Each structure stands twice: as C-alpha cells, then as structure tokens.
Amino acid sequence: MARQRTCSASALALAVALVVGILASIPVEVESIGVCNGMQGDSQSLPSRADVVQFYRTKGISAMRIYAPDPETLQALGDTGIDLIVDVGNGNLSALASDAGLAASWVQENVLAYPRVSIKYIAAGNEVEGGDTQNIVRAMKNLNAALSKASRPDVKVSTAVKMSVLASSSPPSSGVFKDAYMSEVTQLLKDTSAPLLANVYPYIAKRDTPTIDLSFALFQPNTNPVNDNGNGLTYTNLFDAIVDAMYTAMEQAGASDVPIVVSESGWPSAGDDLATPTNAQAYNQNLIDHVGKGTPKRAGPLETYIFAMFNENQKGGLETERNFGLFNGPDKTPVYPIRFTN
C-alpha cells in the first residue's frame, strides 16, 4: 500500500507539472499595450479592415487606436473585446466645439451605432496647435454632454498632446505646461475622471538632441542614468523621464489624480541614421516589456499604444513618417521580430 501511495503521489506530481507547463506555454496578453492602426496607405500598403482586426486578435493585442471613425473597422471590431481609442479628426474639432447638436450626432453615428464595440476613449484632437487649441475644451464638453444624455459614462473624452505642451521637461521634476489652455483641459479631465492622452517619442527627442545617449533612449543598459534632485528619483530611460515630466505638469496644474495614457509611442525603421530596424526593434520590444512596471514616479501598469501597426505609404512629411510600422502590408510580414505576449 505504501508503494501504491508513493506511485499515486508521483503520478499526481507529474500531472501537476504537466498542467503548469501547459499553462506556462499559453501566450498571455500584455494588458498595458495597444497598437495604433493608421490608415494612410493604399491596398499595396495595408490589409483590408477586417483582416487588420483579425490580425490584432491573432497577435493578442487588446487595444487599438484609429484616427477617424472608420465604419468598416468599427463593424469588424464588434464583439472582439478590443478596446478602442477613436479620434474625431482635427478637421472636425471646430464644428464639434461650436455645435452641440453636431456633437450629439457624432456620438450617435460613431458610438451608439456600434453597441458591440468597446469604445474606451474619444480623442478630441491629436497634437492640436495654434488657435485651434481654443476649440479643444468646448468640443470635449459637447461630446461629454452627448455621452451623458445617452447614458454612456463609460466612454471618456480626452485630447492627445505632444511633449511641446510642456514649457520644461528636464529634469522631470521641472515639468510644467506652457499654455493656459492646458489648465482648462486638465481640470475638465479631472471633473470627468478621464485620462490625458500623451504622445511620447524618445526617438524625436534623440533626433532633435543628438547628445542624448542612444542607449538611454532605447531602454538599454547605460552608464549615465539621470538623477533628479528635485524629486529624488533616478531615471534609466528617456521614456520614463518624459512621462514623469508630464505627471509633474499635471500636479502643477492641480490635476495630480488624472492618469496618463500614452496614446502613441514608437520608433521608425527607415528614413534617417537613427531609424533602423535594429533600433526600432529594440525600442518597441523594450517598451512592451517595460510599461507594465510604470515609471519611477508612478508605479503600476501604464496604458500605452505603439505607433503603428503597419507602414503607411501615403503619409506625408519625412520618410520616417512612412516607416513607423511593425508590419508590412498587405501580407502582414514583420518589419522586424516583435513579441506582444509574455
């Protein structure tokens, strides 16, 4: 009997080990990571909308950002459980700010018409500059009013900003907003329990300031961490330093409880000396592996969206703008190896 019990115990131990091994081999989604789905490309550059959504599911990507409410994409997202940031488009911002009825129609056509889509945030503007910044808060208020009337408090309205909204960002403890309109934005976000969407690009900072250590920008081990005497924290990568400068600016604006969602971050693979597949792979993979930890100032998962899923051959501007994609289209081959799961 003793031998039988021993054999049974051994069998049980083996069974447990097998189960643990099987569970360990199942891909686990990196919950903090989404990917931006840019659509400025032709059929030679991008897969069909339905194929793109299926590709997100295949890769275990749980969140997407689109830069305008695209009906085919919204239809394909139904019942997938993929969270969505949908932009209103900068060209519509002025009209949404001046016409509450138009904002209500926008919500009806692009949110309420897709009840099976998990729309998480509406971005009222992306990197808005100049006089158009005066439309941001009014557009946000009109969209919030329409969502409230429709009993959709789960959909949060924000705006996506770039780092130039900061008058100072180095060291991170010196972060402060440059313009008064950002105080209005942050107070509205505070009142509505919505996050600030921030586009964070260490690539751009390194490109514009060549003296920045490349390893510091790529999350790689480096011998020159930044010690911030203002907050007593040490920074081993540029991404954390930029995000914490934004957190500090939020605190200075009286909105310390407003979370930040990194609505874009990425590194191009072609177009200049910094934009290589090696650098792009290092940055984006390290970003995926890093954001679950948060920053020195704010520990915990930091919701982040990589820019972008595919190279877009019809984007204007510098050559790098057309080479931020993780994948080529329409065959969906990787530009370089990338892993979304742990």
Closest of 37, 124, 122, 49 to residue 86, by C-alpha: 122
Catalytic residue among 29, 127, 184, 321: 127
Structure tokens at 232: 């007593």
Match 């408090």 to its residue by tokens: 153
How far apart are the C-alpha atoms of 274 and 7, rounded to whole Å? 60
Beta carbons of 84 and 62 less than 8 angstroms apart? no
How far apart are the C-alpha atoms of 85 and 64, rounded to whole Å? 6
Residue 264 annotated in active site:
yes
Reported as type and span, the H/E element at residue 177 is: strand 176-177
Region of residue 65 (left: phi > 0; alpha: psi -120 to 50; beta: else): beta
Beta carbons of 222 and 153 less than 8 angstroms apart? no
Match 């650098």 to its residue by tokens: 279
Closest of 174, 206, 176 to residue 276, by C-alpha: 206
Closest of 54, 128, 226 to residue 137, by C-alpha: 128
How far apart are the C-alpha atoms of 302 and 250, rounded to whole Å? 16
How far apart are the C-alpha atoms of 305 and 66, rounded to whole Å? 11
Match 């998480």 to its residue by tokens: 120
Structure tokens at 95: 């009209």
Catalytic residue among 109, 184, 264, 303: 264
Beta carbons of 265 and 307 less than 8 angstroms apart? yes
DSSP state of 195: P
How far apart are the C-alpha atoms of 310 and 51, rounded to whole Å? 12
Residue 127 annotated in active site:
yes
Tell me which residues are annotated as active site. Answer: 127, 264
